[in-house]
């Protein structure tokens, strides 16, 4: 039974159906078969003795069955070679074509080219999900562009910003990740047909030394596999540095999501903003009142895993001897799928969070009221000088004394900040008593935050989302 074996929670618990399928055995081995068919089709076109009947038989059996996968596993136990076990099983399924399957190729023809196809398809899955996260947060930011809130530096109260402007800080990092993944997706290259050490010697022999046909074969196989170009130079594998670059971009996405979700967790502690919490959701098995930010915590936890995975391909790239060594194989079977599965989970969960973020303006206002009187002292001093003709130094001293008294009430007695009440009760400040409400208006302390929010969303975010406009209305599904 499945419950008697360890299963990766990335698949069994969290990941989407589409990303799980992308890294499945069925997708992998069916892609091997498709590549063998493409290779034979291109070789046939360039004059090798491959018949139309053989091609038809290969094409009709590209989709591998469960029984064939099971049979290939049994064969592999004997031959200890995964590719050759599938060559044998595919040949048994396609007896007419058996003599020409894998003709001139090495294992990396199917192995590496399939990996590149799967990675390309995985990025294709991620891109609209990332766009939807950006879109959902943009909608949230637009609605709260003018809502003042305490800014924090060092997690200490600082100048006011707006809820929308803070959200744009999150979006800006996601936009950077989207741009990076788009560039990666558009620039991906195929390994193509390169042979055992990258020299294409086996294919040159097949075509009786005709190098032009070998070049054309590489071009045809690349084109039929839906890639724009292939590497001119490889060893036996495509450059393992490519894997490191890909996983570093995913790790960067992980750091972005972790930062966003850490902020949300801190805001939840302040009771200013919360992730969605469902009616029947249980926050704690012991403390029934708890509303733990479990989605954000999950993102931070999995992002940590994603950020560590980029070390694997970096070490692999550093230790590839000459034209290749096989110590990359087992490692890559783990770190590449896990990186994409984890990124997929992060984006599904972040979108779900973004779609259901809850804001508590009265709590935000309460926190502003606790801190704004101190922040407004400079404005009060200037207004006193302008209206009452007082000396700045004299006003400063008066404000300093009252501020210290109010600070003592807050810290020593645990009461609310009463600096404003002290100013209103002091006749020294009578010339500005009727202006205190205006002086303490939070909207006058946010600078250009509302305008910055609108400019950023219209000038940077909206143009980036145009290509995904038909994919932005799909809701995120969180499994648990």
Q: Measured between alpha carbons, how far is residue 178 from residues 126, 135, 344 in Å?
A: 9, 12, 13
- Which single residue is written with the structure tokens 């490519």? 242
Strand 156-162 and strand 148-153: the pairing is antiparallel
Which segments of 200-283 are extended strands (E)?
273-274
Q: Measured between alpha carbons, how far is residue 56 from residues 59, 101, 218, 222 in Å?
A: 5, 13, 22, 20
Catalytic-labelled residue, pool 49, 176, 179, 284: 284
d(CA 362, CA 276): 18
d(CA 263, CA 296): 9
Burial of 462 (0-12, 13-18, 19+ CB in 10 A): middle
Indicate if 284 belongs to the active site: yes
d(CA 190, CA 227): 6
**90, 33 contact by CB (below 8 A):** yes
Indicate if 252 belongs to the active site: no
3-class state of residue 231 by DSSP: coil
d(CA 11, CA 345): 10
DSSP class of residue 161 equals E
Torsion sign over Cα 126, 131, 137, 139: negative
- Both tokens of residue 295? 């989605």
**DSSP, residue by residue, 421-473:** HHHHH-GGGGGGGGGHHHHT-GGGGSTTHHHHHHHHIIIIIHHHHGGGGGGTT
Percent of the chain that is helix, strand, coil (3-state, to 5): 70, 5, 25
Q: What are residue 342's phi and psi, to 5 degrees? A: -65, -45
Q: Measured between alpha carbons, how far is residue 405 from residues 261, 367, 399, 402, 420 in Å?
A: 38, 19, 10, 5, 12
- Which single residue is written with the structure tokens 């809820």? 163
d(CA 126, CA 343): 8
Q: Which residues are identified as catalytic?
A: 154, 284
């Amino acid at each position: 039974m499945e419950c008697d074996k360890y299963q990766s929670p990335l698949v069994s618990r969290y990941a989407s159906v589409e990303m799980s399928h992308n890294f499945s055995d069925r997708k992998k081995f069916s892609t091997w078969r498709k590549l063998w068919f493409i290779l034979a089709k291109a070789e046939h076109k360039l004059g090798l003795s491959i018949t139309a009947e053989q091609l038809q038989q290969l094409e009709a059996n590209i989709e591998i069955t469960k029984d064939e996968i099971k049979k290939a596993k049994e064969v592999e136990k004997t031959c200890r070679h995964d590719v050759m076990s599938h060559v044998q099983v595919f040949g048994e399924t396609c007896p007419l074509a058996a003599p020409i399957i894998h003709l001139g190729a090495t294992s990396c023809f199917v192995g590496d080219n399939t990996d590149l196809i799967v990675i390309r398809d995985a990025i294709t899955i991620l891109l609209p999900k990332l766009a939807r996260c950006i879109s959902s947060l943009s909608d949230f930011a637009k609605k709260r562009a003018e809502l003042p809130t305490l800014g924090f530096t060092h997690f200490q109260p600082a100048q006011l910003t707006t809820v929308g402007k803070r959200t744009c800080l999150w979006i800006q990092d996601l936009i950077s990740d989207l741009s990076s993944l788009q560039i990666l997706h558009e620039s991906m290259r195929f390994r193509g047909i390169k042979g055992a050490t990258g020299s294409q010697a086996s294919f040159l022999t097949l075509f009786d030394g005709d190098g032009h046909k070998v070049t054309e074969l590489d071009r045809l196989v690349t084109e039929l596999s839906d890639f724009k170009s292939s590497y001119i130079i490889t060893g036996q594998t495509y450059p393992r540095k490519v894997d490191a670059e890909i996983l570093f971009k995913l790790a960067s996405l992980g750091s972005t999501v972790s930062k966003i979700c850490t902020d949300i967790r801190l805001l939840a502690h302040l009771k200013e903003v919360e992730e969605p919490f469902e009616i029947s959701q249980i926050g704690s098995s012991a403390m029934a009142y708890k509303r733990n930010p479990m989605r954000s915590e999950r993102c931070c936890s999995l992002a940590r895993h994603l950020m560590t995975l980029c070390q694997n391909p970096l070490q692999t790239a550093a230790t590839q001897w000459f034209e290749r060594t096989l110590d990359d194989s087992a490692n890559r079977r783990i770190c590449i799928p896990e990186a994409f599965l984890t990124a997929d989970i992060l984006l599904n969960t972040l979108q779900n969070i973004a779609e259901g973020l809850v804001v508590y303006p009265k709590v935000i206002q309460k926190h502003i009221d606790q801190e704004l009187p101190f922040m407004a002292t400079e404005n009060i001093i200037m207004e006193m000088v302008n209206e009452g003709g007082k000396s700045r130094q004299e006003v400063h001293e008066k404000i300093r004394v009252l501020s210290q008294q109010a600070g003592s009430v807050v810290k020593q007695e645990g009461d609310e900040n009463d600096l404003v009440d002290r100013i209103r009760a002091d006749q020294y400040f009578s010339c500005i008593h009727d202006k205190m409400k205006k002086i303490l208006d939070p909207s006058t302390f946010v600078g250009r935050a509302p305008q910055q929010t609108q400019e950023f969303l219209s000038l940077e975010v909206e143009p980036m989302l145009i290509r995904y406009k038909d994919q932005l209305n799909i809701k995120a599904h969180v499994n648990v």
